[in-house]
C-alpha cells in the first residue's frame, strides 16, 4: 500500500491530493485563482506565481489533513514538472523538493499531460475490476493542448505516442479567446457552455477545418499525424462580429459585467441578445464537431481498443454527448474523467506517479521546471 502526495501548480490552480495505490482518492484540494485573473480576461503569469506562493502551504496541509494522515505517513511526493508557466511550476517543485529533503522521501516528477490521462485511469480502476482495453487513443483537450496520444502499457510502465496536435490554438484557448472577444467572463469554456444552451447551434455556419494527415509524422517519426486547427473558427467568429456590427453591444456587455465581482452565467445571459447566443452556440458546436470528427477518424485508422477524452474542455457536456453518440455508433468505448478531475487537479499527478513509484523512477534533486515539456515519443 502506497500513499502519494501529489502537487500541481502549472497554471492557475494550486492543488494537492493524496492518492492510495494510484486509485483511491483520499483527498483532492484545489484552490482556484480565477477571481485574480478575471479582470485581465486571462492568466497573468506573475500574479499566478504570487497566488501559488500564498496557497501552496495551506493547500498541502488541507490535503494531508483531509486524507487523515500526516506528512510522515506519505510514501512519496509527486509534482508537476511541466508543461506550464515556468514561475508557477517552480513554486510547486521548490516546495516538493523542500518536503522530500525534510522528510527523506522519494520525489517523482510528472508530466501534466500524463496526469490528465491518469485522471481517467484512476477513476476507471476505482469503478471496475477489469483493466481498460489497450491501446487507447487519448485526446487531451485543455487550455494549452489539443493532443492525441496512443496510450499503451507493458507491465507497470505506461507509454505514450503523440499522433496529433493542434497547429495553432488549443481548443480551450479558442473558447477563452472567443469569450474575451465577445465580452464574456473568464475562463471562456464554462460560460460559453452555459450560454450556448440558449442559442441555436445550427444558426451560423462555421468553417470545419479539413483533417490533415501528415505522412511524415511528429518529430520526423514514420507514423502519420492527425492535426487540429481552431484559428479558422476563431476568425469566423471575429468576421461575424464585424459584419453584424456587434462591437457596441459587446462593449455594453463588457462594461455591465465588469461591475459585478464574480459574474454568474445568469448575469452574462441577461446582457446577451439572441444573435450573440446563436453565435456562441454555433461556435461551440463547430469546435465539438471538429474534435469529435478528427478523433474518431484517428481512432478508426489506428485501430485502438478504447478512447479517453480528458483535460479542461472534456468537462463540456455537449462534447461528452457527441463523443458518446459517435463512439457508440462506431463500436468504441469512450471514457471521460468526472467533471472535478477534468480540469487541473493534483489527484491526477499522484495517480500518474504511482507506476513510477513501482518502477522506482525517482527525480534527481536537481531537476527543474520545463515549461514546454513534451509527452512521449
Ligand atoms: O485542463 P485545464 O484546467 O488547464 C490546462 O491544462 O489548460 O483546462 C482549462 C481550459 C480553459 O481553456 C477552459 O476554458 C476550458 O479548459 N474549459 C472548458 C470548460 N471548462 C473548462 N471548455 C469548454 N467547456 C467547458 N465546460
Ligand atoms: Zn491541464
pLDDT of residue 213: 57
Each of the 377 residues of the chain gets a pLDDT tens digit; together they read 899 999 999 999 999 999 999 999 999 999 999 989 988 888 999 999 999 999 999 999 999 999 999 999 999 999 999 999 999 999 999 999 999 999 999 999 999 999 999 999 999 999 998 999 999 999 999 999 999 999 999 999 999 999 999 999 999 999 999 999 999 988 999 999 999 999 999 999 998 765 555 655 555 555 567 899 999 999 999 999 999 999 999 999 999 998 888 889 999 999 999 999 999 999 999 999 999 999 999 999 999 999 999 999 999 999 999 999 999 999 999 999 999 999 999 999 999 999 999 999 999 989 999 999 999 87
Q: Which residues pair with 162 in a beta bridge?
A: 149
303, three cell numbers: 485501430
Contact 70/111 with Cβ under 8 angstroms? no
In this predicted structure, what is the pLDDT of residue 216? 52
Residue labelled with grid coordinates 500524463 = 114
Give the model confidence (pLDDT) of 326-368 as tens digits.
999 999 999 999 999 999 999 999 999 999 999 999 999 899 9
What's this model's pTM, rounded to 2 decimal places?
Answer: 0.95
**Which atom of ligand 1 approaches the CA of 342 most closely?**
1
By the 8 A CB rule, do 125 and 315 touch? Answer: no
Select from 295, 290, 286 the least CA-distant residue to 327: 295
pLDDT of residue 208: 74
Contact 54, 41 (CB under 8 A): no
DSSP E strand stretches across the chain: 3-8, 13-20, 24-32, 76-82, 107-111, 136-141, 146-154, 157-165, 212-214, 225-227, 306-310, 333-335
* Pocket-testing residue among 144, 172, 201, 311, ligand 1, by greatest number of atoms within 8 A of Cβ: 172
Residue nearest to ligand 1 atom 8, measured at CA: 312
Residue 2 CA, ligand 1 centroid: distance in Å: 31
Return all residues near 259 (Cβ < 8 A) that are at least 6 apart: none
For residue 353, count other CB atoms closer than 10 A to its CB.
Answer: 31
Cell of residue 199, nine digits: 442559442
Protein residues with CB under 6 Å of any ligand 1 atom: 11, 142-144, 172-173, 175-176, 187-190, 193, 311-313, 315-316, 343-344
Amino acid at each position: 500500500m502506497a500513499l502519494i502526495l501529489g502537487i500541481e501548480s502549472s497554471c492557475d490552480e494550486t492543488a494537492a491530493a493524496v492518492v492510495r495505490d494510484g486509485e483511491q482518492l483520499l483527498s483532492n484540494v484545489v484552490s482556484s485563482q480565477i477571481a485574480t485573473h478575471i479582470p485581465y480576461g486571462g492568466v497573468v503569469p506573475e500574479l499566478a506565481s504570487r497566488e501559488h506562493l500564498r496557497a501552496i502551504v495551506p493547500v498541502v496541509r488541507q490535503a494531508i489533513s483531509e486524507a487523515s494522515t500526516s506528512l510522515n505517513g506519505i510514501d512519496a511526493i509527486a509534482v508537476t514538472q511541466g508543461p506550464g508557466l515556468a514561475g508557477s511550476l517552480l513554486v510547486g517543485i521548490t516546495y516538493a523538493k523542500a518536503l522530500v529533503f525534510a522528510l527523506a522521501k522519494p520525489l517523482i516528477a510528472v508530466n501534466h499531460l500524463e496526469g490528465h490521462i491518469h485522471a481517467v485511469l484512476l477513476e476507471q480502476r476505482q469503478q471496475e475490476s477489469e483493466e481498460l482495453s489497450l491501446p487507447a487513443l487519448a485526446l487531451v483537450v485543455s487550455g494549452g493542448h489539443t493532443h492525441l496520444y496512443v496510450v499503451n502499457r507493458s507491465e507497470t510502465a505506461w507509454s505514450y505516442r503523440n499522433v496529433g496536435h493542434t497547429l495553432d490554438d488549443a481548443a480551450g484557448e479558442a473558447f477563452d479567446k472567443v469569450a474575451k472577444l465577445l465580452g464574456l467572463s473568464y475562463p471562456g469554456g464554462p460560460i460559453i457552455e452555459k450560454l450556448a444552451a440558449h442559442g441555436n447551434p445550427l444558426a451560423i455556419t462555421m468553417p470545419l477545418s479539413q483533417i490533415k494527415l501528415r505522412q511524415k509524422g511528429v518529430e520526423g517519426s514514420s507514423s502519420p499525424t492527425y492535426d487540429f486547427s481552431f484559428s479558422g473558427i476563431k476568425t469566423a467568429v471575429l468576421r461575424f462580429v464585424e459584419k453584424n456590427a456587434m462591437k457596441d453591444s459587446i462593449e455594453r456587455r463588457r462594461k455591465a459585467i465588469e461591475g459585478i465581482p464574480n459574474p454568474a452565467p445568469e448575469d452574462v445571459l441577461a446582457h446577451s441578445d439572441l444573435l450573440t447566443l446563436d453565435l456562441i452556440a454555433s461556435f461551440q458546436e463547430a469546435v465539438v464537431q471538429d474534435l469529435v470528427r478528427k478523433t474518431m477518424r484517428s481512432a478508426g485508422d489506428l485501430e485502438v481498443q478504447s478512447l479517453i477524452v480528458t483535460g479542461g474542455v472534456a468537462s463540456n457536456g455537449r462534447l461528452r454527448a457527441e463523443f458518446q453518440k459517435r463512439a457508440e455508433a462506431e463500436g468504441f468505448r469512450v471514457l471521460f474523467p468526472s467533471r472535478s478531475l477534468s480540469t487541473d487537479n493534483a489527484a491526477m499527478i499522484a495517480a500518474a506517479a504511482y507506476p513510477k513509484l513501482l518502477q522506482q523512477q525517482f527525480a534527481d534533486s536537481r531537476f527543474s521546471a520545463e515549461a514546454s515539456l513534451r509527452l512521449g515519443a
